[in-house]
Structure 1
Amino acid sequence: MSRLTIDNEYLQTTLKALLDIPSPSGFTDTIVRFVTRELEALGLEPELTRRGAIRAVRQGSRRKGARAIVSHLDTLGAQVKFLKANGRCSVVPIGTWSSRFAEGARVTVFSEKGSYRGTLLPLKASGHTFNEEIDTQPVSWENLELRVDALSRNALDLEKLGIEIGDMVAVDPQPEFIENGYIVSRHLDNKAGVALMLAALKALQKHKAVTPVDVHFLFTVAEEVGVGASSILTPEVASMISIDNGTTAPGQNSDEFGVTVAMADQTGPFDYHLTKKLVGLCQDNEVRYQKDVFRYYRSDSASAVAAGADVRTALLTFGVDASHGYERIHLHALRSLAELITAYVRSPVKIKSDFEETLHGAEGFTRQKLGEEPEQAEQDLSPDVEDETLGPQA
């Protein structure tokens, strides 16, 4: 099953548009509307949950045993915690990220009376005043404050501006698209994942690709705070692949080029058979790939499984340097991932038992090799997993 060609210009243009839309967790309505319009332009009919998670189903030859691809629209950010006597705001993070990366960030704070620009600054920001103390103060959110670019000498001035405790603070992405393919920005996690999913869908639509089962394109709105895909799956979905970032750092095997196939994260191993299938598709389609294991990481799929979804899960990532900071990726990884998605959703369904929620006995259940000779293992595997016959329409 050959991979489809990805429109790189569309991928990058879409990513730029996504980065332009502030969307910290809890403040995602605008980006939900944008992605909904884009899905409609690509010919799908998206459905929205109450909170704004999006499901867009591309029909295949069969409904049961559907496949899902998921990314999240929400990003890191901050929230006003307290109005300070000096006319500035103390803040708390939205999502898990270090205040080290927040220091000096340009931001927008959204109040009932409108939005204001500002900067996140350490409490001791001026070397002319604090001398070497600017280098010795602790790195923590308690040592940061939001300076609003409006007349605000005290807490009363902030109140007059309409700024209140709980107001959302969006951090500027400051994107750079470099001619050699590198992309540097905040919030590439996971707007790059959203962009490549839309690019893969565009390729499928252009080629009028036929898939053996329905494909659910899912976009969640609270992954950074641990909710993820816990409430967006339907019973028809048998397998779900999360698209997210993979950390390129010492001790990790992720790369900014090609696809990084995650074998496990902090919640445990991903599905053996689904992961094996994805690796095989990379090999068959000459998609560069590498494997990695993440210790301090969970994705959309983890929350879905924790919520009780009985689905096979896998995680495909694009390598990100300095994740949850000022991130860097390469277009090669985004394109490779989009190509792999097109190959995966068009590939035959080989585990027939995935068309049923439960089995009566072990007949038709999958097998894993336990040290058999390779020839015998393949022979044992063939009746259950490698049979591509789908049977009657469900």
Structure 2
Amino acid sequence: MSCVRIDESYLIHQLKELLSIPSPSGYSDQVVHYVGSQLEALGIEFEVTRRGSIRATLPGKQNTLDRAVTVHLDTLGAMVRRLKDNGKLAVTPIGSWSSRFAEGGRVTIFTQSGPRRGTVLPLKASGHAWGDAVDELPVTWDHVELRVDEICRNREDLTANGFDVGDTIAFDALPEITENGFINARHLDDKAGAAIVLSAAKVLVESDMALPVDCHLIFTIFEEIGFGASADVYADVSEMVVVDLAPVAPDQNASEYAVTIAMKDQTGPFDYHLSQKLVTLCRDCDIDFQKDVFRYYRSDAASAIEAGHDVRTALVGFGVDASHGYERTHLSSLTATARLMVEYIRSDPTFKQDPKRWASLKEFPHQPDREIIRIKT
């Protein structure tokens, strides 16, 4: 098999651009417009759902065995919960993440009168004022507040300056890319995934590769709050690969320098046959990969299955250290994931009978069973 190369300069450019556009769940219109403009530049046709998900199509030789590659454009964030008497803002998280990682974050507050700036701080933020008590605060969203960069001494000042309950709060991504390939930023989940999918699409378009079946590129906007792909999968999609982060930690097998193929997450195992196919593609094309199991993790695959879509699902991830915090990955992991997506999109369907709503038992596949692996005694 002739394996492809990824345009790393394009990948990095897309990642930087995506990270510069705030898109907490519920406030993603601008990043949808940006991704749409990049698909247009590549000549890829797409449509936008009412809520803003993008469904693009790379046409293949036939459109009866459709596949999909899915990423999400929304990120973690916060929302104003209350205007406080001290002139600061109480906040509530958007998405599931710890206030520990919000502390010290520079933010934009999107008010009806325009964007404003501020910083999220613990209630006791100064050692000079509180002494050792700064180390005794619990780690909860009730123990942080948002200091706004406006003259606001009380609740009335906040109101006069346009702040209100329900204002969306976006945390600065603060990206830094080192010369040796390390990428540090908030929101690599899943802006890096979007950059990977755009980079894979660029290779396929510019090389004019003949694809065996239609592939839909799905960009969801509500993954961080649990239902990203619930309404965005085409009815005729038989298999879907989700691109998201792979958490790197001492008790995990994921790597910052490879693509990780998830075999299971907290919602259960991924499709056996599709996952094994991805492993085979990595081996055939000499793509560095790991396999892992994620215990505290769900993705767009879960929301699609829970919504009732009869689709085979798999999950691949770029390795991320300190996920849902100030995250880090390496360019080699993004490149490996992009290469795998190119090989997957141009590969044959996993099963030829999958376009059928129902199949006979004769058509249904086999997994390795005990007759194959039994040890003779």
Residue aligning to 1:311: 311
Q: Which amino acid in 1 is paired with 2:364?
A: F
Unpaired stretches in structure 1, ≥5 consecutive residues = 375-394
RMSD: 0.9
**Deviation at residue 350 of structure 1 after TM alignment:** 4.2
Is the contact between residue 66 and residue 213 of structure 2 (CA under 8 Å) also seen in structure 1? yes
Pairing 1:56–2:27 present: no
Take 1:81 and 1:61, find their aligned partners in 2: how far apart are those partners? 52
Q: Which amino acid in 1 is paired with 2:369?
A: L
Is the contact between residue 185 and residue 326 of structure 1 (CA under 8 Å) also seen in structure 2? yes
**Deviation at residue 349 of structure 1 after TM alignment:** 2.0
Q: Which amino acid in 1 is paired with 2:346?
A: R
TM-score, length of structure 1 as denominator length: 0.94
Pairing 1:45–2:45 present: yes
Residue aligning to 1:219: 219
Q: Which amino acid in 1 is paired with 2:361?
A: A
Take 1:240 and 1:257, find their aligned partners in 2: how far apart are those partners? 24
Is the contact between residue 273 and residue 350 of structure 2 (CA under 8 Å) also seen in structure 1? no
Residue aligning to 2:364: 365
Residue aligning to 1:285: 285
**Deviation at residue 2 of structure 1 after TM alignment:** 2.9
Give the alignment of 1:1-394 within 5 angstroms. 1-359=1-359, 361-373=360-372
Take 1:34 and 1:115, find their aligned partners in 2: how far apart are those partners? 19
Take 2:219 and 2:138, find their aligned partners in 1: how far apart are those partners? 37
After superposition, the C-alpha distances for 1:139-196 in whole angstroms (9 at most, x for unaligned) are 1110000000001111111111111100000000111011100000000000000001
Is the contact between residue 4 and residue 204 of structure 1 (CA under 8 Å) also seen in structure 2? no
Instruction: Please state whether the residue corresponding to 2:315 is helix, strand or coil.
Output: strand
TM-score, length of structure 2 as denominator length: 0.98
**Deviation at residue 268 of structure 1 after TM alignment:** 0.2
Residue aligning to 1:390: none
Residue aligning to 1:391: none
**Deviation at residue 11 of structure 1 after TM alignment:** 0.2
Take 1:147 and 1:3, find their aligned partners in 2: how far apart are those partners? 51
Is the contact between residue 111 and residue 162 of structure 2 (CA under 8 Å) also seen in structure 1? yes
After superposition, the C-alpha distances for 1:308-360 in whole angstroms (9 at most, x for unaligned) are 0000000000110000000000000100111111111111224111121211x
Take 1:151 and 1:196, find their aligned partners in 2: how far apart are those partners? 42
Q: Which amino acid in 1 is paired with 2:248?
A: T
Take 2:184 and 2:51, find their aligned partners in 1: how far apart are those partners? 30
Is the contact between residue 3 and residue 340 of structure 1 (CA under 8 Å) also seen in structure 2? no
Q: Which amino acid in 2 is paired with 1:177?
A: I
Take 2:125 and 2:344, find their aligned partners in 1: how far apart are those partners? 51
Residue aligning to 1:385: none
Take 1:346 and 1:103, find their aligned partners in 2: how far apart are those partners? 44
After superposition, the C-alpha distances for 1:221-251 in whole angstroms (9 at most, x for unaligned) are 0000001111011111000000000111011
Identity %: 53
After TM superposition, the runs of 4+ consecutive aligned structure 1 residues lying more than 4 A away are none
